[in-house]
Amino acid sequence: MQTEIVIAGFGGQGVLFAGQVLAYAAMDNGKEVTWIPSYGPEMRGGTANCTVIIADEEIGSPLVRYPQALIVMNLPSLDKYEQTVAKGGTVIVNSSLIERPIHREDLSSHLVPANEIAESLGDKRMTNVVMVGALLAVIPVLPIEAIEKALKDHLPERHKKLLPLNYQALRAGADLVHKERIGQQA
């Protein structure tokens, strides 16, 4: 099985880090992985996106044309990437910054007020981790525990104090989507 994910937003939102932590977790769990970052010339506020492929077998090409999953952190990213998602794919939308609905009816979309959740946890920098948790609640390509371990093993020493907050953010994103899905079944 192979899962292709695009994560997109603007610089400073932790888009590349979100992709890295997915890649590290997959690699640490014996999966085949590619991670390709792309960003504009501006350090903060410019465009940023990355592609992550997680597979059980060797990956033929690191290029992603029609991802099964998309995490969008801002409206320009949704406008740019919505049409690229494979039919039946999943879009995780940061509804804190994106007010429009998904236009395509052949996609599963989940609105996550990630900025508000991160701020309620005490650190707006956790927005990206909230979104990763939400994604994994929909597409269980990796367990949340694998992301937690990757954070512990790969987070730079100077950021280790943020581990408990990262764990809370992951679980908050996943819990929100789990509750949404239970509400839809009722």
pLDDT digits (tens, 9 = 90+) for 166-177: 999 999 999 999
- The rounded mean pLDDT for the chain is 92
pLDDT attached to residue 183: 66
Q: pLDDT, tens digit, for every residue of 108-146?
A: 999 999 999 999 999 999 999 999 999 999 999 999 999
The 10 Å Cβ neighbour count of residue 118 is 25
Least Cα distance to 34 among 19, 15, 49, 48 occurs for 19
Going by pLDDT thresholds of 50, 70 and 90, the confidence category of residue 39 is confident
Contact 34, 18 (CB under 8 A): no
Query: Cα(35)–Cα(116) distance, rounded to whole angstroms?
Result: 28
Instruction: Write down the residue that tokens 């994604």 correspond to.
Output: 135
So where are the chain's domains? Answer: 2-185
pLDDT at 12: 81
Return the CATH number of the domain spanning residue range 2-185.
Answer: 3.40.920.10
